[in-house]
Amino acid sequence: MKILYAIQGTGNGHIARAMEVIPVLKKFGKVDLLLSGNQCDIDLPWKVKYRYHGASFVFGKKGGVDLKSTMKNINAVNFIAEVLKIPVREYDLVLNDFEPVVAWACKLKGKECIGISHQSAVLHHKAPQPKVKSLLGKNILKYYAPTHKSYGFHFKELGNGFFTPVIRRDIRFSTPSVENHYTVYLPAYSDEAILDFLTQFPQDQWQVFSKHNKRAFSYKNVYIQPVDKMGFAKSMLSSKGVLCNAGFETPAEALYLKKKLCVLPMSGQYEQQCNAAMLESMGIPTFKTLKEVDIDVFNNWLLNEKPVEVNYQNDTNWIISAIVKEYAQIQEEAVFAI
């Protein structure tokens, strides 16, 4: 079987999930990888056959997406050229983790595309939604990378075809501890904004991972360092808790490790607003922005909050295997029917 696996390169979550999915796919045949986007900090240890620019969002420094930089980053002519160029019909199975080039290539060329992503689960009818709805946000989730059928992952199981998170093995098979620091990842905020906020809590040590600084430095009780996969995992494993945006993989890993969690969804990012709604329903403190954090509530989180209990089982192998086998059988039946 010849498989194309397309991965979104905005943020690190898609790459982290791919680390666990790819070895399973390789059991079933030849796997070609496509990665589009340029906002991830993790490299895949396998050869990426197709490396495209795609249509990525760019993180800002004020708590949300930098719309101006995002629009400059998206080249419509180049995107269409990439869509027309990718030979999706050469593959027996196309799997897609919210990657737009392959998704639209399949749609235009009549090739079935199977979604396996977190975004597939965000709009599930059982998933909590934010109080302020966004038609634009919903449509972006729906049409950014359209698929013929989708399987999804969320913070809670939502029913048939929608599972709990894929936890990467270096987190799943680790031994967590509790030292005297909190781990922070807020890529949509400047280092200055994060420092202004965290220095209000001098009783705790803060290890911040920054997308905006290439050198490490300390200021008072805050240590800022560039994003580093191994360094971040080590910090989180030994932390008292995690303060991060309302993405998917980092909050899921923090919950799995039984760490206290507090999240700030990126403004203008509807997926993160939806994630925050789900986490809030589970008892996780959420705040709109750093400037709107309730200091008393945050202090209570630091002093009294307990981790929320979850049960994220190691089901990746059977989930991905079942998906591949299902579509292999469908293709085989189609061949016999001819």
Give the model confidence (pLDDT) of 106-122 as tens digits: 999 999 999 999 999 99
Average of per-residue pLDDT across 307-320: 94
| Residue with more model confidence, 104 or 79 | 104
- Gap between the terminal Cα atoms of the chain: 19
pLDDT tier for residue 39 given thresholds of 50, 70 and 90: low
**15 in a domain, yes or no?**
yes
pTM: 0.87
Question: Which residues are within 8 A (CB) of 30 and not within 5 positions of it... i.e. 6 or more apart?
Answer: 1, 2, 3
Token pair recorded at residue 56: 């990525």
* pLDDT for 198: 97
One-letter identity of residue 324: V
* pLDDT for 34: 95
Same domain, 214 and 121: no
Give the CATH number of the domain where residue 71 resides. Answer: 3.40.50.2000
Give CA separation, 253 vs 72, 136, 165, 227, 292, in Å: 33, 29, 9, 16, 25
Average of per-residue pLDDT across 183-203: 95
pLDDT digits (tens, 9 = 90+) for 122-177: 989 999 999 888 888 888 889 999 999 999 999 999 988 999 999 999 899 999 99
Same domain, 212 and 154: no
Same domain, 8 and 150: yes
Average of per-residue pLDDT across 217-223: 95
Token pair recorded at residue 5: 């696996």
pLDDT digits (tens, 9 = 90+) for 203-219: 999 999 998 888 999 99
Same domain, 229 and 122: no
Which residues form the domain of 270? 169-303
Same domain, 145 and 205: no
* pLDDT for 195: 96
How many separate domains does the chain show? 2
pLDDT digits (tens, 9 = 90+) for 61-89: 655 555 555 556 667 788 899 999 999 99
Same domain, 18 and 147: yes
Share of the chain above pLDDT 90, in %: 73
